Chains A and B, each alone.
Chain A
Amino acid sequence: MSSYSLPEAVPAASSRRLSGNAVWALLLSLPLLWLLVFLIVPVLVVLIVSFFQPTLSGFERAFTLDNYRALLSSGPFFSTLLNTLLSALITTVVTFLVGFWVAYYLALVVPNLRTRFALFIIALAPFFTSFLIRAVAWIPMMGREGVLNSALLSLGITSQPLDFLLFSNFAVRVAMAQLYLLFMISPIFFSLSTIEPAVLEAARDMGARWWSILWEILLPLARPGIVIGAVFVFVLSMGDFATVRLIGGGASTSVGLSIQNFVTYMQFPQAAAAASILVLVTVLGVVLLLRWGAIGEEL
């Protein structure tokens, strides 16, 4: 506004901004294109192929509902779907019950900020390691001659090795809880970290005992983190097939594993139909979770 501002500087800057925006648009189109080609289209292709006619070596482009009809009228597929859903729900609930207190400890008990972040990263580190390796590592833990059975035997808790510790639904759920726990801990940790300590002190000042603080303050404030964590764990365990295959042996099934088997036998439309059903059920579950989360927001 001052009298010696340079009037020609204004148009120069704005034209530069314009060309800058064009460059940005160009730059932005790259990731956009990538996500279209390698994410959106593949997902749509699955939906489309699920309506194609299967042939011996693949599919032909003829519309049919037979793939769905066959799957939904098949008892084994149905029980596989139910087992997948049950495993995912159990894993979600278990990771919440176990993970909440880890996040609570890190965010609200550890006093020093540096220690807090260091411990968080120590807890986070296994997430980066190979998923397969971590699944493999369960075998010497849980097997008939594994660490857990040896410990139980030597402590005299059991008189013979427990077989259900490996190659069972139980083993699969324990392993999934371990593999996905961090997806639950992290968002809850971040939600709890935003709570001002004075808020908890105020609640205590007004006579709240620990369960009231948990119920009235911590859980409502952590709800966004809990919902995000639950969605993560639920989606991951719905789609799981490697853990089921490695830890479950033949004793456990999942839709993901069925999909993989269909692909092995080149039954692509069936695989696509199974995947679409899986997605539908998963999305339904996620919507329910998000709605539960949103109700909390409105109140």
Chain B
Amino acid sequence: MRTRGRWFNRFLGLYFALILLFLYGPILVMAVLSFQGPQGGMTFPMRGVGLHWWTRLFEVRASELQEAIIRTLLVAVETGAIAALFSVVIAFAYRRRLPGSSALLPMVLLALMTPGILLGLGMSLWWRILNFQPGHLALLGVHVVWALPFAFLVMIAVLNRFDPRVEESARDLGASEARTFFEIVLPIIWPGILSAALFGFTLSLNEFERSVLVTSQNTLPLQLWAMLTVQIIEPDLYALGTLTVLITFVIVAALFIPTVIGQFRRLGGATPPSEE
């Protein structure tokens, strides 16, 4: 029984590796194909290997995409900042059980669960009724709605590890509410706030479903969508895709590696499984 369990676990390890292949495989294939030779197409075989499509991306596409890239980054930065700010407020209010926080929680959940196409449609109709031009504000609005639940989850996790007695002792020593927050609480939780902001930034950077009906000005994913559905696609698209994936991975690594190491330190390292 024990040995069979071991075999089963080993099988599961193999299975997990296969799942990772399933998750990463397409991305890897895309990355490889972005190094197609100039005559190469969208699929294998490789007709030569080179940086042809990458150069094309930076020389030809870049100017075409420049506006979209700047717009995307701007919205992403704003989304990250606002989502982080809101998540701090909601998480603190929720922790202190302030009135109103209980009403916010289902709304945050709704924000998570509302299909993107529905929100996008609603936003575009609502702006049409108000006779507003679809644009930056509407886009930012739905992006924050999308990023907020995730930022909130991050903040809840951060605050769960934050000892409320630190706050109490600061107040006990005569610090005002505001001073306590800015001098004691903020320095302790700011890495968490930064994580929440980065989270929001990444989600906004890659957001497509909510944006597509909301704005007439293209963001990078919207431009991609247009290229995919209207134009004939070429391997420089793979180069662009690979680039965005790489940027995202760098952000994810920056987000999680310190958390994981911190977690590990807090727990004082691995303990042998069976001694008391």
Contact = CB atoms under 8 A, between A and B. Distances in A.
* Touch between chains A and B, by CB atoms below 8 Å: yes
B75 interface: no
Given A117-B263, A129-B245, A38 B221 contact: no
Interface of chain A: mostly helix, strand, loop or mixed: helix
Given A42-B123, A105-B15, A140 B42 contact: yes
B93 interface: yes
B202 A268 contact: no
A44 B125 CA distance: 10
Contacts of B30: 133, 136-137, 140
B232 interface: no
A210 B123 contact: no
Q: How large is the interface on B (under 10, 10 to 19, 20 to 34, 35 or more residues)?
A: 35 or more
Most buried by A among B19, B110, B141: B19
Contacts of B244: 129-130, 133
Interface stretch (A70-78, A219-227, A239-247): A239-247
A272 interface: yes
B180 to A, nearest CB: 9
Interface string A254-272: 0010011001000010011
Interface of chain B: mostly helix, strand, loop or mixed: helix
Interface residues of A, number: 95
Given A38-B141, A114-B270, A130-B221, A109 B13 contact: yes
Contacts of A147: 25, 29, 44
Interface in B102-138: 103-104, 107-108, 110-111, 113-119, 121-126, 128-129, 138
B5 interface: yes
Contacts of B144: 34, 38
A130 B208 contact: yes
Interface of A: 13, 16-17, 19-21, 23-25, 27-32, 34-35, 37-46, 49, 58, 98, 101-102, 104-106, 109, 111-114, 117-119, 121-126, 128-134, 136-141, 143, 145-147, 150, 178, 181-182, 197, 209-210, 231-232, 235-236, 238-239, 241-242, 245-246, 256, 259-260, 263, 268, 271-272, 275, 278-279, 282, 286
Given A23-B177, A130-B248, 5 more contacts: A31-B89, A42-B122, A126-B27, A137-B30, A246-B229
Interface of B: 1, 5, 8-9, 12-13, 15-16, 19-20, 22-27, 29-30, 33, 42-44, 82, 86, 89-90, 92-93, 96, 98-101, 103-104, 107-108, 110-111, 113-119, 121-126, 128-129, 138, 141-142, 144-145, 148, 171, 176-178, 202-203, 205-206, 208-209, 212-213, 221, 224-225, 228-229, 237-238, 241, 244-245, 248-249, 251-252, 256, 260, 263-264, 267, 270, 273
